Copies of this chain bind each other. A is one copy, B any other.
Amino acid sequence: MATLQDVANAAGVSKTTVSRFLNGSLDLPLRTADQIRAAIRDLDYRPNPHARRLSLGRSDTIALIVPDISSPFFATFVAAVEAEADARGLSLSLHATLNRRDRELSYIDTVARGHADGLIFITNHADDGELGRRLQAAGNCIIVDEDVSGTDLPKVFSDNEQGGYLAGRHLAEAGHRHLMLIGGGEEMISGERRHAGFMRGLHEVAGPQVRILRHQGTYTLETGRAAARRFLESPVDQRPSAIFATSDELMIGLMEVLQTSGIRVPEEVSVVGFDDVGPLHLFAPAITAVRQPVRDLGKSALALLLERAADGNKPPSEVLLPVTLIERASVAPPMSS
Complex Cα distance, B256 from A94, in Å, reads 31
Residues of chain B within 8 A (CB-CB) of A68 are 79
Q: Does chain B have a CB within 8 A of A194?
A: no
Shortest beta-carbon distance from A122 to chain B in Å? 14
Contact check: which of B50, B83, B114, B285 meets A114 at CB < 8 Å? B50
Interface contact B82-A98, CB-CB below 8 Å: yes
Complex Cα distance, B106 from A113, in Å, reads 22
> What 0/1 readout, one digit per residue, does chain A (62-95) give for beta carbons within 8 Å of chain B?
0000001111100110110011001000011111
Shortest beta-carbon distance from A121 to chain B in Å? 15
Interface of A is mostly: helix
Interface contact A94-B95, CB-CB below 8 Å: yes
Complex Cα distance, B284 from A255, in Å, reads 12
Residues of chain B within 8 A (CB-CB) of A94 are 69, 93-96
Interface contact B79-A96, CB-CB below 8 Å: yes
Interface contact A96-B78, CB-CB below 8 Å: yes
Complex Cα distance, B112 from A49, in Å, reads 12
Residues of chain B within 8 A (CB-CB) of A103 are 86
**Given A256-B282, A284-B285, 4 new contacts (CB under 8 A):** A70-B79, A94-B94, A252-B279, A284-B286
- 27 example contacts (A-B, Cβ-Cβ < 8 A) are as follows A50-B50, A61-B110, A69-B69, A69-B75, A70-B76, A71-B75, A79-B96, A82-B96, A91-B95, A91-B106, A91-B110, A92-B95, A92-B96, A93-B93, A93-B94, A93-B95, A94-B94, A94-B95, A256-B281, A278-B278, A278-B279, A279-B283, A282-B283, A282-B284, A284-B284, A284-B285, A284-B286
